[in-house]
Amino acid sequence: MRGGGQGVRKMAGIYPRRCALTLALLGLSAGAAPAQDLAQDLAPGAPGALPATGFPTGTAVLQAPILTLNDEQLFDDSAWGARAEAEIEAAAAGLAAENRRIEAQLLAEEKSLTDRRASMDPAAFRAEADAFDERVTGIRRAQDLKARAVSRLREAERRAFFSAAVPVLSDVMRKHGAVAILDARVIFLADSQIDVTAEVVALADQRLGPGAAPEISDTVDAPEDGAAAPAAD
């Protein structure tokens, strides 16, 4: 029993910090080390302390090999995206109003033709009805092209924006010492510090501004007075 006591005293003398930490964690000693002593033992740089983890510090700019980015948020929050969305909504509203106007005009023409049928020669009525049907078909084709152009405009705007933003993304990547920028939406878990979406938005607004609407190949002119608009090549 005496030998065992000497062994405990010897261990306590050789490993005072480790014993104090163990007893403090287990709550087995009435004379456990104070909390401030335990904090000092665990502080970075202290003998026996756990190694520090996290991203490199000591510089104003975070350094990380991998960065993340939410491309939807980037486009939507940018000045370019705001301008594009406003123009797309205006184009869609204008097309809807135009379709309503054309529909009302065609309905009126159809009613007029129906009302005059009884007093018309059958051959003359058939010729006028066929011409009316042909005009309606042409107008429908032209309006469908416009609708497809509006639906494609947002994707065209996104392609134009990200093509113009490549130098911005490259500069942000070099600034942080990164080798890649990944889509944040396909990453299961990542530290929020490496998300650079807001940073890229600010830099893109500064360098690119609102941008300009790209060309859409199948945009057609509005039909005048219900006449069939020319189809795109």
Q: Can you give the pLDDT at residue 7?
A: 47
Q: Can you give the pLDDT at residue 59?
A: 53
Tokens of 227: 């006449």
Distance CA 97, CA 54 (A): 57
Distance CA 227, CA 136 (A): 8
Q: Can you give the pLDDT at residue 192?
A: 86
Tokens of 199: 């940073």
Non-local CB neighbours of 223 within 8 Å, separated by 6+ positions: 102, 139, 142, 229
Which residues, given as ranges, of the chain have pLDDT below 50? Answer: 1-3, 7-54, 57, 219-233
Q: Can you give the pLDDT at residue 187?
A: 86
pLDDT digits (tens, 9 = 90+) for 153-195: 989 999 999 999 999 999 999 999 999 999 988 888 888 899 9
Q: What DSSP letter does each residue of 137-151 carry, written as one string?
A: HHHHHHHHHHHHHHH
Query: Do the Cβ atoms of 155 and 75 come closer than 8 Å?
Result: no
Q: Can you give the pLDDT at residue 64?
A: 87
pTM for the full model?
0.59
Tokens of 178: 């990164």
Distance CA 97, CA 87 (A): 15
Q: Can you give the pLDDT at residue 104?
A: 96
